[in-house]
Structure 1
Amino acid sequence: MLRQIVLLVVASVMLIACSEQTSGFKTFSEGQQALQTINNLLSTQEQQSEAASWPFSESYLQARHQAYQGLKTTTLDVSQQAQLNYLIIAERYPERYFVWPVQRDVISQARLVDDYSVNELANWLELVETQLIAAEQSNLKLNKIELTLLHNMVKSHLDNSDDSVQAALNKLNQYLTQYKPRTKLGLVGLANGKDWYQSKLNYFSGETKPPLTWLSEIQASLKQSQNADFVLLVSDSHAKPLVMNYFVESHQHTGLDWQLDYLDPLKSKRKLTKDEQYFWQVMMETDLGIHYHTWSEQQARVSLMKRLGVNQQQADWLIEDIVLYPAMSFIFIN
């Protein structure tokens, strides 16, 4: 009997090993394409063929995890390995509770795919609400900027949907109307938020330093700098982070993160002018202020307007970018 149990255990281990081996990718490009398929409802592209997984559904989380594990079997350069490690670490944190990333219009994207399903969209909208309720029970809440952006997105699709989707949207709209956001804008307001922010700082800066050290170094550099003249390029959308306006257009390197349209930020960034360096140092200071030092929206607004000479509307847009894309500004650290 013992011999049979041992044989069964060995057989199970071999099957698992074979399964893991066959799930690997041959090349980095193959793994990246798999992630693009998994994330296609979070895409900024206008045309999609079919929906692979609804964002942050159970099937999505499983498929994404398998893709990350599959990429481990490929030959990666230092930058690719760093990005993969960063994304794998992010799986530990509460992102999965916030099923609808407020940067992307998932409903409009879903309606572009060939196999668009009204019922599946309605079910996904119910998941959005269910996970937000579960998150509240774990003391995980949207901040007021995220809540406003999500609520506006929901309201933009009201009265323009099929019956089952309309019912789910109405229910979600009612829930968001009474939703009480967390008081702190930054990641520090979430459980394990400081650790999550540290992992982002480590990846985007390419160095492992605590936020207090970064703040001290950045503020020391700002004291030696003069106010800069620059053109602030803002839009009416946060679908793409502001850092992408400072990528090299002619020579971009592929990456793994849907938030960056699958470009490697550390390789794709361009050389900054002196004035642009000053601007991004101010953004880093504000980033640390919001996500680590619990700056209020008013504190961040006053600092940006004073440091950069921008108006209130521009400052608020920059704050939204920092809230939605924590630590990304640190790709421009000297």
Structure 2
Amino acid sequence: MNEPDVMAHKELDYLRIQERYPERYLPWPAYISVLANVKNKVSSNELGKWLAFVEVKLKEADESNIRLNRLERDTLMLQLESSDIDAPSRSALLAYLSNYKPRAMLGLHQLPNGKEWYQSKLNFYGAIQDSPTKVLATLSKFDDQNSKANVLKVMPDTQQPYILELLPANCQRIAGLNWRDGFINVPSTVAKCTKAIEQHKALIVTLMAVDLGIHYQGWSQKQAFVALNSKLALNEQQAQQLIANLVYFPATIFAAYPHFLKP
């Protein structure tokens, strides 16, 4: 098989693995504006059925000790509140989320099999077979070489993995199979744009460490904020947006990791 075929098979294998983890209970990723995207494209009846399905899956998730974090719950509620879609299931889902108790922490580690889930993401996005502990040790060596504080030049959003925002427009986005990543194969795309990765090396090392902190070590939002501000020149909005991006797209920043290992 040629390289694109190999990467497509790897992505398909990754997506199959994800269905074994809590993702199967979470059909509405909070960062995707589903209600705005489908407005005037599907009937109210169809959308109503889907919203009812989301509520059913969240209740099933609760029975398996799988809960949204606070950021996800609040973002979904905001989308529901700002929508004018006339469907009884919209009001029912909003009422359910209003009385919903989110999990205490933001990272995957707090979910059942969360650390294993995170490892599967490191495997795919960063081609990492080592444990997160070993990855942290490697990052500390990179960090020593890039200790100078960085000014954030690219404002993060929550619509796509931040690693893609760091790539210039002329870097080709390789089509992928994962709708949660905007149908972009993140590892393949980043591999084609190594000059951009080199330009943002110190920033990416910091974000990798914070990503591990949130999803593997169980950092709170405050701990993540402190870690970011110790390395980067950020205002509060930038820090909040970066943290939200890392929460919504776990391990995607590690698509740059193979480049760091090259001699």
TM > 0.5 fold call:
yes
Task: Find 2:6's aligned residue among 71, 78, 81.
Answer: 78
Task: Find 1:291's aligned residue among 209, 215, 218.
Answer: 215
Task: Find 2:68's aligned residue among 118, 139, 142.
Answer: 142
AA aligned to 1:195 is E
Note the C-alpha offset of 1:193.
0.9
1:77 is paired with a residue whose SS is helix
1:244 lines up with 2:164 in the alignment: yes
Task: Find 2:249's aligned residue among 309, 315, 325.
Answer: 325
Which one has a bigger Cα radius of gyration? Answer: 1
1:263 lines up with 2:191 in the alignment: no
Note the C-alpha offset of 1:273.
5.7
Note the C-alpha offset of 1:274.
4.7
Would you say how many aligned residue pairs link Structure 1 and Structure 2? 254
Q: Give, in whole Å, the separation in 1 of the partners of 2:186 and 2:4.
A: 16
Closer, same or farther: CA 175–332 of 1 in aligned 2, 3 Å: same
1:97 lines up with 2:35 in the alignment: no
Match of 1:278 in 2: 202
Which segment is superposed worse, 145-154 or 75-84? 75-84
For the Cα contact (< 8 Å) 1:229–1:275, is it kept in 2?
no
AA aligned to 1:272 is A
Q: Deviations over 1:254-279 (max 9, x none)?
A: 22122332222222222236551110
Q: Give, in whole Å, the separation in 2 of the partners of 1:196 and 1:273.
A: 26
Q: Give, in whole Å, the separation in 2 of the partners of 1:123 and 1:273.
A: 43
AA aligned to 1:154 is L
- Greater relative contact order: 1 or 2 (C-alpha under 8 angstroms, separation 6 or more)? 2
Match of 1:155 in 2: 81
Note the C-alpha offset of 1:223.
2.0
For the Cα contact (< 8 Å) 1:228–1:275, is it kept in 2?
no
Aligned CA-pair RMSD:
2.1
Identity of aligned residues (%): 35
AA aligned to 2:200 is E
Match of 1:20 in 2: none
Match of 1:126 in 2: 52
Note the C-alpha offset of 1:204.
0.8
AA aligned to 1:311 is N
Gaps of 5+ in 1: 1-27, 29-73
For the Cα contact (< 8 Å) 1:247–1:268, is it kept in 2?
no
For the Cα contact (< 8 Å) 1:290–1:300, is it kept in 2?
yes
Q: Give, in whole Å, the separation in 2 of the partners of 1:282 and 1:265.
A: 19
Scaled by the length of structure 1, the TM-score of the pair is: 0.71
Q: Deviations over 1:115-156 (max 9, x none)?
A: x22112112111111211121111100011111111111111
Closer, same or farther: CA 273–327 of 1 in aligned 2, 3 Å: closer
1:186 lines up with 2:107 in the alignment: yes
Which segment is superposed worse, 184-193 or 251-260? 251-260
Note the C-alpha offset of 1:183.
1.1
1:272 is paired with a residue whose SS is helix
Note the C-alpha offset of 1:241.
1.9
1:195 lines up with 2:116 in the alignment: yes
Task: Find 1:222's aligned residue among 143, 149, 158.
Answer: 143
Q: Deviations over 1:11-53 (max 9, x none)?
A: xxxxxxxxxxxxxxxxx9xxxxxxxxxxxxxxxxxxxxxxxxx
